[in-house]
Chain A
Amino acid sequence: MKFKDYYEIIGVQRDASQDEIKRAYRRLARKYHPDVSKEADAEARFKEVGEAYEVLKDPEKRAAYDGLASGRQAGEEFQPPPNWERDFVFGDGGFTGASDFSDFFDALFGGAARHSRGARHNVQMPGEDRQVRVTISLEEAYRGTTRRVSLAVPELDAKGRIVTRDRTLSVKIPAGVIEGQRIRVAGQGAPGMGGAPQGDLYFIVDILRHRLFRPERRDIYLDLPVTPWEAALGASVKVPTLGGAVDLKIPKGSQTGRKLRLKERGLPGNPPGDQYAVLKIVTPGADTPELESLYRRLAEAAPLNPRAELEA
C-alpha cells in the first residue's frame, strides 16, 4: 500500500498546533463537503481529509503516526512495521463514521476500532447510508436505463464484524430522472449493529453533456438555426427532440431569441417537461455580386435601425 501524508492532505506543517490542524480541517471539510462542492472528486477528498483529521486530532495517534512518517514521502510503498498493533493499542477515540477509511488507515489504526466494534454487541446502531454517483446520457434519462455498478458492499461476518465484499448491482433507472436526482434503494447500505436496520443505498444521477440539447430540470432547450426568410415569412421545419424529429411551425415575423415551445416534448414526468426551440437567425454571406446586390436592395426596401434603443 502507499504511504499517506496526512499533514499534506490537511495542508499544514508537521509541527502544526492542534488548533491549526482543527482550523485547516474545518475549512477543507466545508470546501469538499459533497453536498456543497461540485468538484468531481469532492467525496473522495472529503473522506481523505476526514481520515487525516481522525489521526491528527488525537495526540496519541498523531504521535504514533509521526514516528512512522519521519523520512517518508506520500505515495511511497509502505508496510506497517512488525508488531505495530501489539506495540500500539489505541483507545476507541470515537469514530466519526469511519466505515470506509483507506487500507492505509485500516492497517495502522483499524485493529483497535475493529476490536472495540466487535465487542459492542449490545449496542443497536442503524447501518450507514451509501451514496454512489451514476452517469447517464440524456437519451437514457429520457427512456430509462439499467446500470451495473460494482461496489464494495459492507456485510456482517459470522462474528458480527463488518467486512466488505465486491458486488455487482444492477439498477433500473426509470425514465424522466433529472440532473442531481437521487434514487433510493432501501436496505442496500451498510449493515446495522445489534439487530438495527440496514442503511440505504442512494444513487445520484449525473447527466452527460449533450451535443444539441440543454436540460433545465425536465425542460429541454435547443438552439434552432433558421434563415432570415424562414423567420420573416414563417415556415415549417423539422426539429429534433429526444423522442424523434417533429414538425415545428415558425411564426411569421420571428426574431433571434424567440422561444417556441414544443409541449411535453421534454423529459417524462408528472407533468412532463417541454422542449424549447430558441431561434437563431443565420444569414448567408454576400459572397457573389448577385447576393450583394440583393442585400443592397433589401437595405433600401426595409430601412431598419436595430440600434435605436442604444441611442440616447
Chain B
Amino acid sequence: MAVIRLTTVQVLDERIEFSLSDVCRTCCISAETVIDMVAEGVVEPLGGGPDNWRFTGANLVRVQTALRLQNDLRVNLPGAALALELLEEIDELRRRVHRLSADWPD
C-alpha cells in the first residue's frame, strides 16, 4: 500500500505563531468568537489589538479545546475557561507527582 509522506507538520508549541485570521481559518470560527475568548481570558495573544495579535501554538490548542468543550459538553464560554484552567492545574499536579514519585501518572 502506498505510504503518504506528511512532510509539512506544525508542532503546536510556543515556537510557532498564528495571526487572528490564521486562528479563524484553522478552527473554522469567526473573529468575534476569538475576540470573546481573549476577553474571557481563555488565551492571551501577544501584540496589541486584534490586527497585531500573535497566537502561539499552545494558544491555538487552548482555543480548540475550549470549542470542543462548548460543543460536546454544552458548557458556555466562562465554563469552558474554568474547565481549561482546572484541567491545566490537574496536568501540572500530575507532572509534579510524577517527577517526585517516579510513578507515571495514572
A residues neighboring B (CB under 8 Å): 26, 29-30, 33, 35-36, 38, 46, 126, 129, 148, 166-174, 176-178, 180-186, 188, 200-201, 203, 209, 214, 216-217, 221, 223, 269-270
- In the complex, the answer to whether B72 meets A29 with C-beta atoms within 8 Å is yes
Determine the residue in chain B with the shortest Cβ distance to A165.
B1
Let me know if B4 and A217 touch, CB within 8 A. no
Cα distance A182–B61 in the bound complex, in angstroms: 8
Chain B interface extent, by class: 35 or more
Partner of A168, one of B2, B8, B64: B2
CA distance A173 to B5 in the complex (A): 12
Using Cβ atoms and an 8 Å threshold, which residues of chain B touch A173? 9
The interface of chain B, by Cβ under 8 A from chain A, is: 1-15, 26, 28, 57, 61, 64-65, 68-69, 72-74, 83, 87, 91, 94-96, 98-99, 102, 104-106
Q: Nearest chain-B residue to A220 (Cβ)?
A: B99
Interface majority SS on B: helix, strand, loop or mixed? Answer: mixed
Cβ A30 vs Cβ B73 within 8 A = yes
Are B4 and A168 touching (Cβ within 8 A)? yes
Cα A183 to Cα B106 in complex, Å, equals: 23
B6 near A188 (CB under 8 angstroms)?
Answer: yes
Contact A269 B69, CB 8 Å, known A126-B28, A185-B6, A200-B26: no
Nearest residue in B to A210 (C-beta to C-beta)?
Answer: B104
- When distances are taken between beta carbons in the complex, the residues of chain A under 8 Å from B69 are 33, 35-36
Most buried by B among A38, A129, A167, A184: A184
- Residues of chain B within 8 A (CB-CB) of A167 are 1, 4
Q: How far is the CA of A168 from the CA of B3 in the complex (A)?
A: 5
Task: Check A36 against B87 for contact (C-beta < 8 Å).
Answer: yes
